């Protein structure tokens, strides 16, 4: 499994913690930036991570901004992306099972590093259910 990860300045510190966590899990990742805490524009990083997921360079993406809201909106503008903002493990599990979400979004100013790493684990370890009704709903989303 290979993960695309990116953040803006508001998510930079949490991204650093998540990358350390991925390393302990021996999960390969590519960091698409940002690379410091100077103010920057989250859509740039959302597009880069989304491109890596849609072109199958990476299986999943993780995006982090201050709240997780802006970066999830930006990622969801990209065709084929189902980015989910999660603040707990239940949401991470449900979005993988029901929505086959391919990008996890987090708020660096909303969740602490410990919880964020648990959310990441839940997201990465939960398979899509392949339930017919969920597949139908995903197709309806993709029609728009």
Catalytic residue among 65, 86, 105, 117: 65
Report the greatest alpha carbon distance in the chain.
45
Looking at residue 143, what is its pLDDT? 85
- Taking the alpha carbons of 31, 34, 35, 36 in that order, is the dihedral positive or negative? negative
Question: pLDDT tens, position by position, for the chain (144 residues)?
Answer: 999 999 999 999 999 999 999 999 999 999 999 999 999 999 999 999 999 999 999 999 999 999 999 999 999 999 999 999 999 999 999 999 999 999 999 999 999 999 999 999 999 999 999 989 999 999 998 886
Catalytic residue among 21, 89, 91, 98: 98
Looking at residue 77, what is its pLDDT? 97
CA distance linking residue 129 with residue 50, whole number of Å: 22
Sheet holding 28-31, edge to edge: 28-31, 2-7, 60-65, 103-107, 83-85
Is 65 one of the annotated active-site residues of the chain?
Answer: yes
């Amino acid at each position: 499994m290979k993960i695309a990860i990116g953040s803006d300045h508001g998510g930079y510190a949490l991204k650093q913690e998540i990358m350390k966590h991925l390393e302990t899990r021996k999960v390969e990742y590519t960091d698409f930036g940002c690379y410091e805490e100077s103010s920057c524009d989250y859509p740039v990083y959302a597009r880069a991570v989304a491109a890596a997921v849609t072109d199958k360079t990476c299986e999943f993406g993780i995006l982090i901004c201050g709240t997780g809201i802006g970066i999830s909106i930006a990622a969801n503008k990209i065709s084929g992306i189902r980015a989910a903002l999660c603040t707990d493990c239940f949401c991470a599990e449900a979005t993988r099972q029901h929505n086959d979400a391919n990008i996890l979004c987090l708020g660096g100013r909303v969740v602490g590093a410990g919880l964020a790493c648990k959310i990441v684990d839940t997201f990465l370890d939960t398979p899509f259910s392949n339930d017919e009704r969920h597949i139908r709903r995903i197709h309806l989303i993709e029609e728009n």
